[in-house]
Chains A and B, each alone.
Chain A
């Protein structure tokens, strides 16, 4: 029996099956569409997060509170805050550091000209522009002198400036942050998201002023841009902070230094296990779909007992009948696989469009693993769940089958 004959037979019986054929592959279609959707979305999410990490300045070091072993326990509100002004000053004077930006963050309302916006208040210095890779639209970033003098100056993020002052220039105007008056020295260009946060909603004030207003004595983190090799910079920074904190054994470190690469690694781990879990759940629907196929094939075999008898009387061997029914079920599931793949691609595209309404920077990504897995799985399901019905079909006795009405 030729392959072309087998395929033609499958097409014929598929046509005869009509609506029932379509319904029977629905489980497979849904299963494969969800596998592809889930794997593609997690992959797109991963690319998005990684692009976020990489959109900031390159080769940055993030000096954070907490021991290195606690890296994956973020966010930990109970981590002891240990980064001090002394750490900042001793790092600041190193010649191998191009810039060091302290970072402290608070949520607060920002008011001007009767407009109120909820902003993210960042206590920092000009180094943040290098760290976030953002540019000034108008004015001058407040100086280190402003910080030393604890001045009430502020730089507004792009959308904050637009919401408060519209198209007017904000530079030189006063804004109210947490009940305190600040003078605007600059506004930033619209820049989108960095580290998953919309920096256009940020307002930047001197790190010293932030500590005054929000009553703090420690820093959340320092973003360091070194001008020497990364590992050397890490070692030197660690040595300095250890000295400040009077730590002799690195095991006792109460701080850690992260790189962008470390961040990517964590993202990889988290999305990796997440997508495996989700795909496994979707895989269950493939098994359910396979059982649906087996059911329909068993019904088909019973209904077509007469046909099997006729074929056998015309010289069909047991193996020919077996192959016919097996190919038929593989054909069904493979068609389900193709439809499911197309549906999965379509759903992924729609999902990305919806996400883009809320967060820019996502890119339509298709998981090739998902597609290969989906199509491969659908064929395997056809073979596995088509085997028993095909076996039954082939074992029908020709005499009884011919007598069957």
Chain B
């Protein structure tokens, strides 16, 4: 039953992706974790193509494998079998350094727990990815200030990250994610630790990045409300994709309603 459903979803999806170029293609990937010779399969043949510029929400309960999918998409983890193409390039067999370079150049991470360095200023946090890039120190200041202004935290630039509110921290994380101008923003439960108002601000920012800058946004969440910001919603359960559909009533900036 489940297998049939997946085929249908994939076919329907293909009709949309043939026109646009896919930035991400997962072809029948599996992932096993090996711990003390005990093999635990986590993903059983996941197929997922994400066109450039799409806002896609990945949903699933904890233990479903959605975090593993996110780690693989973000080059934090490697697949066991299958094929992962990023921008048409096979990245399944990259070594650690190549994976690190892919992360730095192509992915902007936004995490549930913000993952800012404590006792470090907003400026230094946002600048961090640049020291692992080829951007010369003389050009950094301008880029960093620009991104901090973009998220509306110019007045907080010299504050320590731990002096900020949750919403502000997540905006710093977004500024940091944008600093190397990546094609893909990978947001893992970005509103999970925020109150509803701050959550909305963060989601609006992701929406704007998608609409105005054409960033591909991959949102991992377990909240339906948040997931509905996406053009497309993929549901994962027990290591397989159980549904993959376009979102007919996509949430926009204007139709905010108070979160419960």
Contact = CB atoms under 8 A, between A and B. Distances in A.
Contact of A318 (B100, B111, B129): B100
B128 interface: yes
A319 B116 CA distance: 21
Given A12-B120, A12-B124, A402-B111, A314 B76 contact: no
A310 B132 contact: no
The binding surface of chain B is classed by DSSP as helix
Nearest to A314: B129
B71 A314 contact: no
A316 B180 CA distance: 13
A16 to B, nearest CB: 5
A317 B96 CA distance: 7
Interface string A302-331: 000011011111111111100000000000
Contacts of B129: 314-315
A365 to B, nearest CB: 44
A312 B103 CA distance: 8
B259 interface: no
Contacts of B97: 317-319
B124 A314 contact: no
B197 interface: no
A5 B124 CA distance: 11
Contact of A320 (B76, B109, B124, B132): B132
Nearest to B109: A313
Contacts of B115: 306, 309-310, 313, 402
Nearest to A5: B131
A74 B47 CA distance: 93
A68 interface: no
A315 B137 contact: no
Nearest to A4: B137
A78 to B, nearest CB: 73
Contacts of A309: 115
A398 interface: yes
Interface residues of A, number: 24
A280 interface: no
A399 interface: yes
B94 interface: no
**Which residue, of A306, A310, A315, has the highest number of chain B Cβ atoms within 10 A?**
A315
Contacts of A317: 96-97, 100-101, 132
A5 B132 CA distance: 9
B78 to A, nearest CB: 11
Interface string A1-44: 11011000100100010000000000000000000000000000
B232 interface: no
A399 B100 contact: no
Given A313-B76, A314-B109, A399 B128 contact: no
B70 to A, nearest CB: 10
Contacts of B74: 313
B105 interface: yes
Interface in B91-122: 96-97, 100-101, 103-105, 109, 111, 115-117, 119-120
A12 B117 CA distance: 12
Contact of B131 (A1, A310, A399): A1
A315 B100 CA distance: 5
A293 to B, nearest CB: 22
Nearest to A315: B104
A36 B74 CA distance: 53
**Which residue, of B96, B133, B180, has the highest number of chain A Cβ atoms within 10 A?**
B96
B146 interface: no
A16 B162 CA distance: 14
Interface of A: 1-2, 4-5, 9, 12, 16, 306-307, 309-320, 398-399, 402
The 6 closest A-B pairs by CB, nearest first: A315-B104, A315-B132, A314-B129, A5-B131, A317-B100, A317-B97
